[in-house]
Structure formats: C-alpha cells, structure tokens
Amino acid sequence: MITQKTKYALKSLMVMADEKAGEGSALRIEEIAERSGAPKRFLEHILLDLKRAGLIGSRRGRKGGYELIKDPKRISLAEILRLIDGPMAPLPCLSRNAYQRCEDCKDELTCRVRAVFGGFYSAYILMIESLTLADLMEDARPLERFSMPDVVAGE
C-alpha cells in the first residue's frame, strides 16, 4: 500500500508534467498544492525530496517556482515509491537496496516464507519498474494494461 505522502508526490509530479507539456513555466508551491490537493506545509517537504533526487528544479524570482526537469517517460514509479516511502520489499532479505538478513532465519535458501514472498515480489517489481510518470498521466486506466483478477473491495 502506498502512503498518502507518495500519493501527494505523484499528484504533484503530474501537475508539473501537465504544466511542462503546456506553457513550460514554473509553478509556485501554492499552485501545486491547489491543483494536487496536497497541503502546502506537507508539500514543502515532498518537493524538497523530489528536488534532491533530481526530478524537479526550482527557480527564484517573479516567474519562479518548481518545475519538472526530467522527462516523465524516464521517471519510474518505483523510483518515486522508493524515494518517498523507502524500500518496497515485504521482507528485508528481499530488498536489493536495503538488504538485511532476517534475524530469525537460519538458511535463506530453504526459507519458505522468503520463497513465497519473493515470488510475488519479483512480479510486482517487474510491473512497477516498467511504469513511468507518463503512464500514470495517460487517460487509460493503468490496471487495464495488465490481466489481473478483480480486486476484492476493502483489501
């Protein structure tokens, strides 16, 4: 499950990508907050993280603000998820970037928990790393790209 902070980051990036496709001017934080629905005080921290990661830039002055500096087709959703929420692996022993051996595990090669969770995590990672900010902005629903069973409400 993604956090509200990640949803605000994604919505803010979409706002800036829309602006880049249109006029190409920088947006003030108030404009981004209004268009994305993110609280301004919360958004300041998110935009700083996105700027440090090299996804957005900022300009000072009368026409200043924040702007997308990386092509939406080159911003993977996995990159944003990791940046905002940290490692995505369901177990620390499955993480590529934040690997840690599980304290209670005697043998990773024969661990059944690791094997089961590793299987679906691999499929999830392949899918999420193939999606970009540009995909998120398309009119078609992203789930239609994949053959998935109906999701039970409330899960």
pLDDT at 78 over 80: yes
Residue 21 pLDDT exceeds 70: no
**Lowest-pLDDT range of 20-24, 49-53, 121-125:** 20-24
Q: Is the pTM of this model over 0.85?
A: no
pLDDT, the chain, mean = 85
> Would you say residue 152 lies in a domain?
no
pLDDT above 60 (res 65): yes
Q: How many domains does the chain have?
A: 2
Residue 127 lies in a domain: yes
Indicate whether 17 belongs to any domain: yes
Q: Which domain holds residue 61?
A: 4-68
Summarised one tens digit per residue, pLDDT across range 105-144 is: 888 888 888 889 898 888 888 899 999 999 998 854 444 4
Instruction: Flag whether 139 is in a domain.
Output: yes
Which CATH number belongs to the domain containing residue 32 in this structure? 1.10.10.10
Are residues 91 and 139 both part of a single domain?
yes
Q: Quote the pLDDT of residue 55.
A: 96
Residue 43, both tokens: 């958004």
Angle (CA) 49 47 44, round 5°: 110
Q: What does the alpha-carbon distance between residue 119 and residue 104 come to, in Å, rounded to a whole number?
A: 20
Same domain membership, residue 99 and residue 48: no
Concatenating the DSSP letter of every residue in 18-83 gives: HHHHTT---B-HHHHHHHHT--HHHHHHHHHHHHHTTSEEEE-STT-EEEE-S-GGG-BHHHHHHH
